[in-house]
């Protein structure tokens, strides 16, 4: 007898920024596309759905963004899409400040490769309509819908006739909340059980959300979003469970080639796994990840302990508590 939808569960894994350009791109060319995420791929594939923020273009183009010069341009070779597939990534957010680093051609190449690979996306597109169109995915009788926005690099913003990202100005709170409402209305048209708001927001290397971001996150849940998936800080923040809904203010990074700040220790990261029924968050598990030599691998030893000590502190400040049984870690609230 088939399990009723009321008792079905789906496991959703959320990972932070996946940056496959620059030195990571060189490693992919030398070692193959399995190199950056191969050590955590089995763990990621165990979930029914894995979503990350893709923090680079996937393209052969060498034409950099023609706007104001940037300090860094992130572009990965076409083979990099295999890194996502092999790790079980089913969907990506593209609303970020690097997806157009290799101009509109790089964005178009990325969209084409994702479509060919069956990886859903939202947050960028050929025009504003596509950039703001939600993605929908069904897993185990549970329907997920997601929109994605970014609050920096306004010159990346999509227009009615031009390619770009779903940009929002968080300084204009009323306008930002209206954009949230429009995104939620689009998701509701698709009848999603779990509406997700993905936000690439805020500055790098801050270890806690600002009071303004907490207010915006609560407002998003109050209006009907059930998961907030934040990223951009390059380090993870504490997780808050607000009205039964998980708020990941910053999911950190999953793989990159960045300088390791000795204070923030941004090579210590987390993956987040949400166990969900159609109407309830049943459990939220944490998996420490360590980034080294352009590769993510499961945290072990002191790396594991540091990540959990930090997560315990940050989550407790937001009213959620990390519990541990051996190497299993989960939140209670």
Is 285 within a domain? yes
Asked if residue 153 is part of any domain, the answer here is yes
pLDDT at site 2 = 44
Residue at 254 is within a domain: yes
Is residue 229 assigned to a domain? yes
Q: How is 45-108 classified by DSSP, letter by letter?
A: HTSSEEEEEE-SEE-S-----SSS--S---EE-TTHHHHHHHTTEEEEE--SSSTTTTHHHHHH
How many structural domains are present in the chain? 1
Is 127 inside a domain boundary? yes
What's residue 6's pLDDT? 55
For the chain (333 residues), the mean pLDDT of every run of 10, in chain order, is 65 98 98 98 98 98 95 97 98 98 98 98 98 98 98 97 97 97 98 98 96 98 98 98 98 98 97 97 98 98 97 98 96 91
Q: Name the pTM for this structure.
A: 0.97
Domain that holds residue 175: 15-332
> pLDDT at position 142, please?
98
CATH code of residue 281: 3.60.21
Residue 5 located in a structural domain: no
- Contact of 134 with 187, CB cutoff 8 Å: yes
Residues facing 122 on adjacent strands: 93
Dihedral sign for Cα atoms in the order 167, 170, 174, 179: positive
């Amino acid at each position: 007898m088939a399990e009723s939808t009321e008792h079905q569960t789906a496991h959703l894994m959320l990972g932070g920024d996946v940056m496959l350009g620059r030195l990571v791109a060189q490693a992919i060319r030398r070692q193959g596309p399995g190199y950056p995420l191969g050590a955590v791929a089995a763990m990621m594939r165990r979930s029914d759905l894995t979503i990350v923020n893709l923090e680079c273009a996937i393209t052969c183009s060498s034409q950099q963004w023609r706007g104001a010069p940037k300090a860094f341009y992130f572009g990965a070779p076409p083979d990099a899409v295999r890194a996502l597939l092999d790790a079980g990534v089913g969907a990506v957010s593209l609303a970020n400040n690097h997806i157009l680093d290799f101009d509109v051609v790089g964005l178009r190449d990325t969209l084409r490769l994702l479509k060919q690979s069956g990886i859903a996306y939202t947050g960028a597109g050929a025009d504003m309509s596509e950039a703001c169109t939600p993605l929908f995915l069904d897993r185990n009788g549970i329907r997920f819908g997601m929109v994605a926005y970014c609050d920096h690099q306004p010159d990346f913003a999509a227009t009615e006739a031009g390619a770009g990202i779903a940009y929002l100005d968080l300084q204009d709170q009323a306008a930002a909340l209206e954009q949230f409402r429009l995104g939620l209305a689009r998701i509701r048209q698709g009848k999603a059980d779990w509406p997700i708001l993905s936000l690439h927001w805020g500055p790098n290397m801050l270890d806690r959300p600002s009071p303004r971001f907490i207010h915006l996150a609560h407002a998003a849940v109050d209006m009907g979003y059930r998961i907030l998936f934040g990223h951009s800080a390059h380090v993870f923040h504490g997780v808050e469970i607000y009205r039964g809904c998980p708020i990941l203010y910053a999911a950190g990074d999953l793989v990159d080639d960045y300088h390791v700040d000795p204070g923030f220790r941004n090579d210590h990261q987390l993956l987040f796994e949400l166990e969900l029924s159609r109407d309830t968050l049943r459990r939220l598990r944490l998996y420490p990840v360590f980034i080294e030599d352009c590769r993510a691998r499961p945290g072990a030893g002191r790396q594991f302990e540091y990540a959990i000590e930090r997560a315990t502190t940050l989550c407790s400040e937001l009213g959620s508590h990390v519990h541990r049984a051996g190497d299993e870690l989960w939140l209670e609230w």
